């Protein structure tokens, strides 16, 4: 590209013309700036469903693209746990939050979180994932009903696929919580590691963690066997604080929906959405099965 150097009065004249010409770049109005960047920074919270050291760089890519669209810095925060994210949004410490599907149920009740978008496939359909329980290939455990009296590695308390859905599967198989030794390892990767290291009889491994581990070469599915899987779960919603300015909500949604699939590709790898599609609009209705699950299991925010 050819560059023209301007000096002295010529530079000053060019600046004035640029600012006054009808066809020149428009300046953002104070109203527009306030709507898209109300506090000088947008705080975006992420649940720690994977190693935070790996999640942060992926979400920084998404945040940079969102920041460019909104002309406002977007700061990514990987929170300590599910409950911490709900509390942070309720206390106004987060403007946006990506919640696990069940975490969203409580974020809706306690923080007024409103879903904006979730992750689409390359075919522009909303993506899903599944919870699962795995055992070693040579284990005598052939089905979920054989887990009575055995040890099971779970992820984090309140996790959709790492806690509640596996326990729901056990309940359907006639196994009470007290009938099994449940080991909360602290996360999906940790539960998988407990199984591969022979620390437990079985472990929850959801389809997202499975895909990531296989790609990283840390899990060989041929050496293990899946004895239970859940129905498909709608993928995580990205939500906005319920008491945010309606203009801000609209601007953020439009920005998310206009992102290129390449902007969310790194995050999509962790969510088993590869190749990625665009972010797609979602509403509370998309997560009705999770509200029903919470009611069936008698869950409250204390279970997060």
Q: Residue 215: pLDDT above 70? A: yes
Last residue of a domain, one of 214, 230, 246: 230
pLDDT of residue 86: 92
Q: Does 31 map to a domain?
A: no
Transcribe 242-257 into DSSP letters: TTS-HHHHHHHHHHHH
pLDDT of residue 81: 86
Do 112 and 170 lie in one domain? The reply is no
**Numbers of helices and strands, H then E, in the chain:** 11, 13
Do 154 and 208 lie in one domain? The reply is yes
Q: Does 106 map to a domain?
A: yes
Do 219 and 287 lie in one domain? The reply is no
81 against 175, higher pLDDT: 175
Last residue of a domain, one of 189, 206, 230: 230
Contact call for residues 185 and 194 (beta carbons, < 8 A): yes
Q: How confident is the model at residue 33 (pLDDT cuts 50, 70, 90)?
A: low
The β-bridge partners of 228 are: 133
- How far apart are the C-alpha atoms of 77 and 41, rounded to whole Å? 12
Q: How confident is the model at residue 74 (pLDDT cuts 50, 70, 90)?
A: very high
Do 53 and 198 lie in one domain? The reply is no
Q: How confident is the model at residue 302 (pLDDT cuts 50, 70, 90)?
A: confident
- How far apart are the C-alpha atoms of 131 and 113, rounded to whole Å? 24
Average pLDDT over the chain, rounded to an integer: 89
Last residue of a domain, one of 230, 248, 275: 230
**Would you mind telling me the total number of residues written for the chain in this entry?**
304
List the CATH number of the domain containing 218.
Answer: 3.40.190.10
Q: Does 89 map to a domain?
A: yes
Q: Residue 149: pLDDT above 80? A: yes
Do 209 and 280 lie in one domain? The reply is no
Do 243 and 116 lie in one domain? The reply is yes
pLDDT of residue 17: 33
Lowest mean pLDDT among 22-31, 37-46, 144-153: 22-31
Distances (CA, A) of 163 to 54, 82, 173: 22, 12, 16
Q: Does 99 map to a domain?
A: yes
Do 191 and 259 lie in one domain? The reply is no
Do 137 and 225 lie in one domain? The reply is yes
Tokens describing residue 39 = 């506090």
Do 98 and 164 lie in one domain? The reply is no
Q: Does 285 map to a domain?
A: yes
Q: Residue 188: pLDDT above 50? A: yes
Mention every residue, 6+ apart, whose C-beta is less than 8 A from residue 52. Answer: 78
Q: Residue 22: pLDDT above 60? A: no
Strands 114-121 and 238-240: antiparallel
Lowest mean pLDDT among 21-25, 32-36, 99-103: 21-25
Segment 51-55 long-range contacts (CB within 8 Å, at least 24 positions apart): 51/187, 51/189, 52/78, 54/270, 55/270
- Within 13 Å of residue 52, how many CA atoms lie on the same side as its CB? 11
Do 113 and 148 lie in one domain? The reply is no
Mention every residue, 6+ apart, whose C-beta is less than 8 A from residue 132. Answer: 161, 204, 205, 206, 207, 210, 226, 228, 229, 230
Q: Residue 182: pLDDT above 80? A: yes
Q: How many domains are there within the chain?
A: 2
Q: Residue 12: pLDDT above 80? A: no
Contact call for residues 238 and 76 (beta carbons, < 8 A): no
Q: Residue 15: pLDDT above 50? A: no
Q: Residue 69: pLDDT above 60? A: yes
Which residues span the domain enclosing 215? Answer: 131-230
Do 252 and 170 lie in one domain? The reply is no
pTM equals: 0.83
Q: Does 192 map to a domain?
A: yes
pLDDT in tens, 226-281: 999 999 999 999 999 999 999 999 999 999 999 999 999 999 999 999 999 999 99
Rounding to the nearest 10 degrees, give the CA dihedral for residues 259, 52, 270, 250: -30
Q: How confident is the model at residue 158 (pLDDT cuts 50, 70, 90)?
A: confident
Q: Tell me the average pLDDT across 179-189.
A: 95
9 against 48, higher pLDDT: 48
Q: Does 28 map to a domain?
A: no
Do 60 and 98 lie in one domain? The reply is yes
Q: Does 76 map to a domain?
A: yes
Contact call for residues 192 and 203 (beta carbons, < 8 A): yes
Percent of the chain topping pLDDT 70: 88
């Amino acid at each position: 590209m050819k560059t023209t150097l301007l000096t002295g009065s010529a530079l000053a004249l060019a600046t004035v013309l640029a600012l006054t010409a009808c066809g020149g770049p428009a300046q953002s109005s104070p109203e527009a700036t306030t709507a898209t960047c109300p506090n000088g920074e947008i705080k975006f919270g992420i649940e720690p469903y994977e190693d935070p050291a790996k999640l942060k760089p992926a979400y920084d890519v998404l945040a940079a693209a969102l920041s460019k669209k909104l002309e406002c810095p977007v700061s990514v925060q990987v929170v300590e746990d599910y409950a911490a994210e709900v509390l942070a949004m309720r206390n106004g410490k987060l403007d946006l939050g990506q919640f696990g599907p069940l975490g969203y149920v409580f974020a809706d009740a306690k923080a007024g979180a409103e879903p904006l978008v979730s992750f689409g496939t390359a075919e522009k359909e909303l993506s899903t994932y599944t919870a699962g329980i795995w055992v070693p290939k040579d284990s005598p455990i052939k089905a979920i009903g054989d887990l009575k009296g055995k040890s099971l590695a779970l992820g984090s308390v309140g996790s959709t696929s790492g806690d509640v859905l596996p326990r729901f599967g056990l309940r359907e198989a006639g196994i009470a919580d007290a009938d099994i030794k449940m080991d909360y390892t602290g996360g999906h990767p940790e539960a998988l590691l407990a199984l591969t290291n022979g620390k437990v009889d079985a472990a929850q491994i959801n389809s997202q963690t499975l895909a990531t581990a296989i790609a990283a070469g840390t899990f060989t599915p041929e050496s293990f066997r899946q004895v239970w899987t859940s129905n498909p779960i709608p993928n995580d919603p990205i939500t906005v604080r319920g008491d945010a300015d309606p203009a801000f909500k609209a601007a953020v949604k439009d920005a998310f929906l206009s992102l290129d699939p390449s902007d969310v590709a790194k995050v999509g790898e962790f969510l088993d959405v590869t190749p990625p599609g665009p972010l797609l609009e979602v509403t509370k209705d998309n997560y009705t099965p999770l509200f029903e699950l919470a009611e069936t299991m008698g869950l409250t925010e204390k279970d997060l």
